[in-house]
Amino acid sequence: MTQFVDLHLHSTCSDGADAPAEVVAHAARNGLAAIALTDHDTTEGLAEAAEAAREMGIEFLNGVEVSTLYGHHSIHILGYGIEPGCPELEAILHKLRDGRERRTEKIVEKLQERGLPITMDEILALTDGDAPGRLHIARVLHDNGACKTVQEAFDKWLKFGKSCFVPIPKVSCERAVEAIHAANGLAFIAHPGLGNATRKLLPHLLASPFDGIEVIHSKHSQADTVEFKVLAQEQGLMISGGSDCHGGANGPRLMGGMKIPYAIYEAITEALAAKRS
């Protein structure tokens, strides 16, 4: 019987809808043999997910999705098999989370200076413990009648180049790859077909010592998948795949629908084992 895996999943520890143990339970219901939890910039959910995976008989790989910048382009990097608590990795993850929180405060100050109806308390009431971000800000502005749609808040004030834009904390791709390696993990370029930046920058990104490319992703076209698979082979890199499911009613990015073969997971765990021996 062919077994399937999903190596890109989010929980409530970042912007997912389900708690880590619920993500695992969902994977079990979908009949997946192995998963990785890859929350944005945090390793917080890994212990809970690993424990749940043990109980439910699913193989589990520690993961993280690091938000890096190449110039002002946002590039996501997946770390697999990372050991949580590695000081070098936790330092950049802390910088990203903490910086994002302070960024939100700065944006709110700018909006208030312009007389717009928004307070930090209103944002925190929406975040349910997550790091507050621009989407929360836009929702408060919308709820308070400052704009007709959430998108309008971005277009009028929050986007790059607009009056209340504040840059996000910067962690370079090289530094993220180094930190993932310091944590004994493997670094993969996430969803290169998503948006234009990663695809265009691939030749530059590949100068960093990546271990692999996320070839299979719910937002990749069939042509993308072929293109990135060929690239990975040419570069001698491993491939990974995942739905990038955020839980809840998240449209096409649903867990279990992607039929990612177990061999992909196996190759990654073998590489991790070889690295540690």
Sheet of strand 186-189, all strands in order from the earlier edge strand to the far edge: 238-242, 212-217, 186-189, 73-80, 59-70, 34-37, 4-9, 260-261
- Span of 10-18, 79-87, 153-161, 252-260 interacting with Mn ion by CB under 5 A: 10-18
Taking CB under 5 A as the binding criterion, the range among 61-69, 125-133, 169-177, 204-212 that sits at the site for Mn ion is 61-69
Q: How many separate helices (H) and strands (E) can be counted in the chain?
A: 10, 8
State the Cα–Cα distance between residues 269 and 3, nearest whole angstrom. Answer: 15
Q: How many CB atoms lie within 10 A of CB 98?
A: 12
- Binder among 18, 21, 27, 76 for Mn ion (CB under 5 A): 76
Residue 274 CB, nearest distance to Mn ion (Å)?
A: 26
Q: Interface residues for Mn ion in 11-30 (CB under 5 A)?
A: 15
Q: Which is nearer to Mn ion, 116 or 245 (CB)?
A: 245
- Torsion sign across C-alpha atoms 71, 75, 79, 83: positive
Whichever of 44 and 244 has its CB closer to Mn ion, that residue is 244
**Rounded least distance, CB 217 to Mn ion, Å:** 9
Closest approach of Mn ion to the CB of residue 163, in Å: 26
**Residues present in the chain in total:** 277
Q: Does 83 bind Mn ion (CB under 5 A)?
A: no
Structure tokens, 263: 């061999």
Residues interacting with Mn ion, by CB under 5 A? 15, 65, 76, 244
